[in-house]
Amino acid sequence: MIYQVYPRSYADANGDGVGDIAGIRAQLGHLRDLGVDAIWMSPWYPSPMADAGYDVADFRDIDPAFGTLTEAEALIEEAHAAGIRMIVDIVPNHISSEHPWFKAALADEKAKERDYFWFRPGRGENGDEMPTDWRGEFGGTTWTRTGDGSWYLHLFTPEQPDLNWDHPDVRAEFESILRFWFDRGVDGIRIDSAALLLKDPQLPEVLEDNPHPFHDLDGVHEVYRAWRRVADSYGGNRALIGEVWMPEVERFANYLRPDELHAAFNFDFLGCAWDPRLMRECVDRTLDAHKAVGAPATWVLSNHDVTRHVTRYGREDTTFSFDNNLDGTPVDLELGTRRARAAALLSLSLPGATYIYQGEELGLWENENIPPEQFQDPMWGRRGHSRDGCRVPLPWTGDEAPFGFTTATPWLPQPAEWKDRTVQAQTGDPNSMLELYRSAIALRRTESFADFSWLELGRDVLAFCRGQDFACVVNMSGAPIALPANQSVLLASGPLDGDRLPPDTAVWLRMTS
């Protein structure tokens, strides 16, 4: 089980309202008690923070807001001592406009760094029209004009110029960055926007029947084969995990071929509705695709980019997609929480690796009441949705904000109702989300979790076995259901109704026949 730490919002030790490495080190015990196998650390490098650190100015250092490289090295060591592996986040598609390469490229048209990016003349008589009409990943345009009249490409914000992956220096630089972190003991790399790196140099428009000019170009696989060689040169225990948003599951699986990435996030599962038929299809699709390439599946419910699933599952439309903005639609948090508890048991017993986004283990919901003037996410203003609602600092202790996160004002406001969701309030309460996660993760460690097979318990029930003696049953119907015979309950996501399983509730069973 891999736990995503979003460093700005985990714990603040220096009292400036923003989380930091010292805070993570001070609260490492929480992750040890939870039983995490690895931490994925969202970017902590020096950055102007135009996109919360996904605009990196120097991949070989730490932003002063988070601490120092020495502290990062100490955290890696302490995590290892606690039996926790460390995964860092590398952002290869683009860098910060404050990175020395981009500054050099802007300063001199003849600089070699110019070719590390996508500088192009504009269209139209005066060159004042953008080279293409490509739409950005956050919405909006993808080109910005510079002082000398040329334009540069940025699939995200203008502060995140895209790198030219056809250039050997770019490739060499990133391989060297991988080594830099592997040399510091890091066990894995999360690869940001992994499918976007290559662009069609002819810059064609995006047309329905033509190959996409920047999504999933075949050449990208050569990049990851080279990265795999770097990872393997460290003895075979360093992992590469891709952020690959891809509707076609076969194309997705191509990234997981034996000489490429070890794993990739399962956004199909994350975006899937709370619906037994769709969920079952998604699980089948996932397992089939991974089997074909011999890679482990992943199960992801939330991350720093998407609406927290307690909120999603409490809405009428329980899907997630950036193109379907559901902000402000009615939410039943009690229902969402019940389903999130069931989803925890589901995602922790399917075959493969489970990812947990910080706060998920506390049952946090999306803060939909942040005043827009406090939004920091560049997606706000481009897509009319802010990802800040899922990035709110964690509540640790006490009855009032900032709930032990900081001694100052947190960088984003926490809901007052989180007083019941602090680590302190939930610890020792057998009905809390936190204790459910702790029990499930502890049990998962002792289970052998053999072969997966579906168990047929009715159309609206998701049930499966792992080997002969373990089963997970999730009741997605509107009424209580009978549990199978010859079993005892190992763990339940909520109270049972006599010996029946209520709606939106999951159990882990020991099968004895």
Return the number of other C-beta atoms located less than 10 Å from residue 269's C-beta.
21
Decide whether 94 or 228 has the Cβ nearer to ligand GLC.
94
**CA dihedral for 26, 32, 33, 36, sign (positive or negative):** positive
Number of H helices, E strands in the chain: 13, 18
β-bridge pairing 461-466 and 188-191: unpaired
What is the smallest separation between the CB atom of 261 and ligand GLC, expressed in angstroms? 16
Size of interface with ligand GLC, in residues (CB under 6 A): 9
Decide whether 51 or 268 has the Cβ nearer to ligand GLC.
51
What are the angstrom distances between the C-alpha of 381 and each of 49, 133, 141, 371, 385? 16, 19, 13, 14, 7
Instruction: Tell me the residue nearest to ligand GLC as measured from the CB.
Output: 54
What is the smallest separation between the CB atom of 352 and ligand GLC, expressed in angstroms? 20
Question: Does 305 sit near ligand GLC (CB under 6 A)?
Answer: yes
Q: Which two tokens stand for residue 274?
A: 């709370």
With a CB cutoff of 8 Å and minimum separation 6, the contacts of 126 are none
Question: In the stretch 257-296, what mask flags binding to ligand GLC with x, by CB under 6 A?
Answer: ----------------------------------------
What distance, in Å, lies between the first and last C-alpha atoms of the chain? Answer: 30
Question: Does 159 sit near ligand GLC (CB under 6 A)?
Answer: no
Decide whether 35 or 359 has the Cβ nearer to ligand GLC.
359
What is the smallest separation between the CB atom of 57 and ligand GLC, expressed in angstroms? 14
Question: Does 106 sit near ligand GLC (CB under 6 A)?
Answer: no
Question: In the stretch 234-263, what mask flags binding to ligand GLC with x, by CB under 6 A?
Answer: ---------x--------------------
Decide whether 63 or 243 has the Cβ nearer to ligand GLC.
243
Decide whether 357 or 418 has the Cβ nearer to ligand GLC.
357
What is the smallest separation between the CB atom of 502 and ligand GLC, expressed in angstroms? 36
Measured CA to CA, the distance from residue 255 to residue 468 in angstroms comes to 33
Decide whether 306 or 463 has the Cβ nearer to ligand GLC.
306
Question: Does 214 sit near ligand GLC (CB under 6 A)?
Answer: no
Measured CA to CA, the distance from residue 385 to residue 401 in angstroms comes to 25
Among residues 110, 119, 123, which one has the least CA distance to residue 151?
119
DSSP state of 447: -
Among 96, 97, 193, 406, binds ligand GLC (CB under 6 A): 193
Decide whether 56 or 105 has the Cβ nearer to ligand GLC.
56
Question: Does 156 sit near ligand GLC (CB under 6 A)?
Answer: yes
Among 91, 170, 241, 483, binds ligand GLC (CB under 6 A): 91
With a CB cutoff of 8 Å and minimum separation 6, the contacts of 62 are 21, 44, 45, 46, 68, 69, 71, 72
Return the number of other C-beta atoms located less than 10 Å from residue 340's C-beta.
28
Beta-strand ranges (E) seen in 103-226 are 119-120, 143-145, 151-153, 188-191
Q: Scanning residues 3 to 62, which ones bind ligand GLC (CB under 6 A)?
A: 51, 54
Question: Does 192 sit near ligand GLC (CB under 6 A)?
Answer: yes
With a CB cutoff of 8 Å and minimum separation 6, the contacts of 295 are 253, 256, 257, 261, 262, 263
Decide whether 54 or 405 has the Cβ nearer to ligand GLC.
54
Query: How many whole angstroms from its chain centre is CA 510?
Result: 32
Return the number of other C-beta atoms located less than 10 Å from residue 38's C-beta.
22
Measured CA to CA, the distance from residue 137 to residue 243 in angstroms comes to 14
What is the smallest separation between the CB atom of 161 and ligand GLC, expressed in angstroms? 12
Decide whether 261 or 463 has the Cβ nearer to ligand GLC.
261
What is the smallest separation between the CB atom of 50 and ligand GLC, expressed in angstroms? 10
Decide whether 156 or 464 has the Cβ nearer to ligand GLC.
156
Question: Does 87 sit near ligand GLC (CB under 6 A)?
Answer: no
Q: How many CA atoms lie within 13 A of 75 on its CB side?
A: 30
Are 260 and 225 within 8 A, CB to CB? yes
What is the smallest separation between the CB atom of 40 and ligand GLC, expressed in angstroms? 11
What is the smallest separation between the CB atom of 304 and ligand GLC, expressed in angstroms? 6
What is the smallest separation between the CB atom of 71 and ligand GLC, expressed in angstroms? 23
What is the smallest separation between the CB atom of 462 and ligand GLC, expressed in angstroms? 28
Measured CA to CA, the distance from residue 118 to residue 154 in angstroms comes to 8
Would you tell me which residues interact with ligand GLC (CB under 6 A)? 51, 54, 91, 156, 192-193, 243, 304-305
